[in-house]
Chains A and B, each alone.
Chain A
Amino acid sequence: MPTTASSLLLGGVAIIAMLSAGFSALMSRHALHAKREREMREAIDLLRLHYDAMGRMDDEATPEGILEFALKLSRMLHDPTVRESTIRVLREGIDSADDHSPDVIKGTDIVYEEYKILLRMRPDLATAFIQSIVSGILAFEKRWPECAGILSSHVTRVVASPVEEAQRIVRAADRATGLWSVPPIDAVAA
């Protein structure tokens, strides 16, 4: 019966082809889900590290400007009301939102000066500050898929100069939202 044999062969080939295509689609989805789950696990670990580092900053020796800045960054990254704006700003580019007005530069200098003093006097607190900044920013990037890869081009800068990079991000988000003011110039200067 040649007809039955050929239809059986054709049917078998069709099933194998269809299921192979399905398997390949399933595997690509599988890889995508696995990647996202890995990112979420990293985000959770980074967030835990962020809060742990912030907890270590609860010390009498932590300067006011550093405390205020760390709190501002943490709120900005995890506040649902400004999240969309922060994501948009990060997507559009941090550099374009740089503010070179004298007030901002003064505020930037104050936090940076405080950080340099802290590094000499209490390196443990300076380390906690940097850890809280880097882990907070990276946790945010891993958590929101819209941000995927946005900060990868800034990773070198985040590692090389975390304070400046964090300030750049805060300024960028500040411009977009209008909710967050520039670093606490008056409070620190007082």
Chain B
Amino acid sequence: MKPTGGMGATVREAIRALKPYGAAPIVIVTLEALGVGGMAAGAPPVWVIVLSALLFGAFFLAEERKAEWRRREQELDFEALERKDGAAVRRKLDRRLQRTKNKNQPTLFDGEESANANDS
């Protein structure tokens, strides 16, 4: 019987569950611990709350900016694909269409050939 075994497993489980949320849970737990610790050490509660809010706000904005950059990067990838691959494929198909159109275009001799075929 290990008295800390259950606790360790719970912590590991909690870490695994919070992993998809990135650094947010760590930041929040740290801010809470620092805030409560600061107040216990005698810091004025109002200032502790204001400081925690500012720090969390800065973290929130940084996360938003990071997501914005990631999205912009994907949009640039999409646009690059459109500009390079898209333009190349459309040019190729345009040429193919032109060739097909020229092939299907009736020539001056078409009528003559069919007349000859009818004669023979």
Expressed in whole angstroms, the Cα–Cα distance for A16 and B53 within the complex equals: 11
Which stretch, A30-38, A97-105, A116-124, A149-157, touches the partner chain B? A30-38
Residue interface mask B96-115, A partner, CB < 8 A = 1: 11001100111000000000
Task: List the count of A-B residue pairs having beta carbons below 8 Å apart.
Answer: 125
Contact B104 A64 (CB under 8 A): yes
Q: In the assembly, what is the distance between CA of A59 and CA of B92, in Å?
A: 10
B81 touches A44 (CB 8 A): yes
- Given the known interface contacts A19-B56, A30-B21, A37-B71, the answer about A71 and B94 at a Cβ–Cβ threshold of 8 Å is yes
Q: A14-B45, A22-B28, A30-B63 are in contact. Are A48 and B81 (CB under 8 A)?
A: yes
| Interfacial chain B residues near A190, Cβ < 8 Å | 104-106
Interchain CB contact (< 8 A) of B28 among A19, A62, A67: A19
User: Are B49 and A22 within 8 A (Cβ)?
Assistant: no
Q: Check if B13 is an interface residue, CB within 8 A of chain A.
A: no
A40 with B75, Cβ < 8 A, contacts A58-B92, A62-B96 known: yes
Q: CA A163 – CA B38 in complex, angstroms?
A: 67
A residues bordering B, Cβ < 8 Å? 7-8, 10-12, 14-16, 18-20, 22-23, 25-27, 29-30, 33, 36-37, 40-41, 43-44, 47-48, 51, 54-55, 57-60, 62-64, 67-68, 70-71, 74-75, 78, 143, 187, 190
Sampled A-B contacts (12; CB under 8 Å):
A8-B36, A15-B35, A15-B36, A16-B32, A18-B56, A23-B25, A29-B64, A44-B78, A47-B82, A48-B81, A58-B93, A68-B97
A-binding residues in B (CB < 8 A): 21-22, 24-25, 28, 31-32, 35-36, 39-40, 45, 48-49, 52-53, 56, 60, 63-64, 67, 70-71, 74-75, 77-78, 81-82, 85-86, 89-90, 92-94, 96-97, 100-101, 104-106
